[in-house]
Chain A
């Protein structure tokens, strides 16, 4: 089973969230998600400055196998995107919780954080899907 870091939060659509403590969060896709996707070949990210509402389409991951939407797991403004993924999309496979991050959001409503899953709850969710 995937080994999900306990210091991260998760949503059921397989994004992870790292709360940075300064009103921003970093978002990526989980190890489980990259495994389902297979080899990632393109990543389309939102533009810096975009205002995203919780659940909005935030980008696309294309693997050899399929295209998959990335959703904003929280509401906020995109303040940074991982431009390295343009040239090295395979980083999503090799380091999903590190260099394979997607974008950073400045949150509009920090109370939304309460609805996120912790690592155990997310693991259970993955098992229920398989």
Chain B
């Protein structure tokens, strides 16, 4: 028996098939993963993501601490509620975890603080690492918020239906949000973020209020979706999954995360910076790409990718794409790989197209 979120009983009541996920009993699907996937692309679905770890970073040195801890630069956050995606690296430049950090106050105020959301499977090592690194700063406090549940409402109708499920003042706040921005509301935190490639919200709610919110969303017409659909949605959107696309042995340059490294200002020292600079200088030998198989068959993680005359790589995530009707994958391959490759599938070499690792955004195909 694993940990249970405050929505566990709601999942069971809605017919979820429950599986273990990083020590949590979580819904895989409520009948059909494909239908749930399509619901998010065409209307609105909701996911229980309460297993994710929320850590508040406060204190006079909170900002300088995060500027040292993360490869991306929280100084870029220049508006209250704005969010930043970043890798948290080790000294070798490998990815300890990927996370989202929100600026919770106006920028630069003395009470400035941040909220960080990290993965559940890496919770313990992340918290240990974050605690260890704060020793270099005088005034940083880390406060985990385990009593906050989290629901992601995603899809083209997500905002419209979520507004029906909340009170009038929160509905107004939802209207006020720009993309990648969050806002506090009487113990809630409502953010316009997600992991599906669609518009939507991630809403942090006190555990004792979340069942009512979930039910209100269901009454408004939002369909419950499991972790199965969450995975195919993020894969189509070309979003990395920690443990698949990157881990402590992979640096962001090898994981299509170069855009999350803030090299400027040069004076900012962050953990992993010197290792990344050396790696960049030496030349990055691998890259993360997208694979498309338009014929029959399904690409799967760990299948071998063969690029004639160049070398070999490996699929990091692969699945059938419900939106496109064929299989897509992300793969780490030699940097010299061109626009085609073969994948070894069940003993046979199958030709695939190679391109950027993004396939669907806002319901539309985005590769040619």
Interface residues of A (CB under 8 A from B): 38-39, 41-42, 44, 60, 62-67, 90, 93
Contact = CB atoms under 8 A, between A and B. Distances in A.
Contacts of B346: 60, 67
B164 interface: no
A20 B232 CA distance: 41
Contacts of A93: 32
Contacts of B232: 64
Given A60-B346, A62-B320, A39 B32 contact: yes
A38 B228 contact: yes
A93 B297 CA distance: 18
B29 A38 contact: yes
B59 to A, nearest CB: 45
A66 B34 CA distance: 14
Contact of A67 (B32, B300, B322): B300
26 contacts: A38-B29, A38-B32, A38-B33, A38-B228, A39-B34, A41-B34, A41-B320, A42-B296, A42-B297, A42-B298, A60-B346, A62-B297, A62-B298, A62-B320, A63-B320, A64-B33, A64-B34, A64-B228, A64-B232, A64-B319, A65-B33, A66-B300, A67-B300, A67-B346, A90-B34, A93-B32
A64 B300 contact: no
Given A64-B320, A64-B322, 17 more contacts: A38-B33, A38-B228, A39-B33, A39-B34, A41-B34, A41-B298, A42-B320, A44-B296, A60-B346, A62-B320, A63-B320, A64-B228, A64-B298, A66-B300, A67-B300, A90-B34, A93-B32
Interface in B209-232: 228, 232
- What bracket does the count of chain B residues touching chain A fall in? 10 to 19
A124 B351 CA distance: 43
A93 B32 CA distance: 10
A93 to B, nearest CB: 8
Contacts of B33: 38-39, 64-65
Given A38-B228, A39-B34, A60-B346, A67 B29 contact: no
A67 B228 contact: no
A63 B29 CA distance: 14
A62 B299 CA distance: 10
Nearest to A93: B32
B322 to A, nearest CB: 7
Task: Please provide the 4 A-B residue pairs with the shortest distance between their CB atoms, ordered closest to farther.
Answer: A39-B34, A41-B320, A62-B298, A64-B320
Interface in B58-93: none
A106 B296 CA distance: 28
A117 B346 CA distance: 30
Contacts of A64: 33-34, 228, 232, 298, 319-320, 322
A130 to B, nearest CB: 12
Contacts of B34: 39, 41, 64, 90
B20 to A, nearest CB: 14
A121 to B, nearest CB: 25
A63 B34 CA distance: 10
Interface string B294-327: 0011101000000000000000000110100000
A66 B33 CA distance: 13
